[in-house]
Amino acid sequence: MPPKNKFTKKQLIDVAFDIANKEGFNTITIRKIADKLGCSIAPIYVNFKDVDELKNEVVLKVIDISKQLILEQNSGNPFLDIGIASVIFAKKYPLLFDEFGLKHNEFYAKQNEAIDFAINQMKKDKELSNFTEQELELILFKMKAFQAGLSVLARNEQLSAILTDEMIIQMLDETAQDIIDGMRRRGGHDNELR
């Protein structure tokens, strides 16, 4: 008879996410989750075939959080919203930002959902409507390179007094515009510059 399932999949994912958030993604183990829940490993194996399946679910939760942060911004500029959300994520989940934003992570590398979501958000921006999907992806990755550095600076407590949220938003907005204008000039979109 299989062990009685005392925990939902969501509860197990939440515990694994909490471990990843506090100790690092690669520290997630079935035993550690069981210890946190005060149970044997059996209820976890009722829901997941192995730790990799559970880790994939944690990655999906990270993507969902990222999407939600983007949707919450409402600046009127979807591209700017992506940048702001990236910085917020880095400040709120610094270890996860490091794991997924700065290091190679085989689990996250398999997920294209976050990139597709960001590009679809960018397509809603009138200013970006004349770019191809490939150009939008290049713009996104150029901006991500800038956002990664800015996010690292933004989470640095010593710089928080100097690097205010308003300054971060201004830097994101200005840099995004510079990247877009540069892409237009190189791509023959000169007549679309403001």
CA distances from 181 to 122, 152, 176 (A): 15, 25, 9
Residue 75: CB atoms within 10 A of its CB come to: 13
Residues in the chain: 194
Closest CA to 114 of 127, 129, 101: 101
d(C-alpha 48, C-alpha 123), whole Å: 36
In this prediction, what percent of the chain has a pLDDT beyond 70? 92
The label of the residue with tokens 């969501």 reads 10
Closest CA to 79 of 126, 111, 113, 135: 126
65-69, 88-92, 99-103, 157-161: segment of lowest average pLDDT: 157-161
Model pTM above 0.75: yes
d(C-alpha 179, C-alpha 128), whole Å: 11
d(C-alpha 83, C-alpha 1), whole Å: 50
Closest CA to 79 of 124, 111, 132: 124
Pick the CATH number of 1-48 from 1.10.10.60, 3.20.20.70, 3.90.226.10, 3.40.50.300: 1.10.10.60
For 6-28, what is each residue's pLDDT tens digit? 789 999 999 999 999 999 999 99
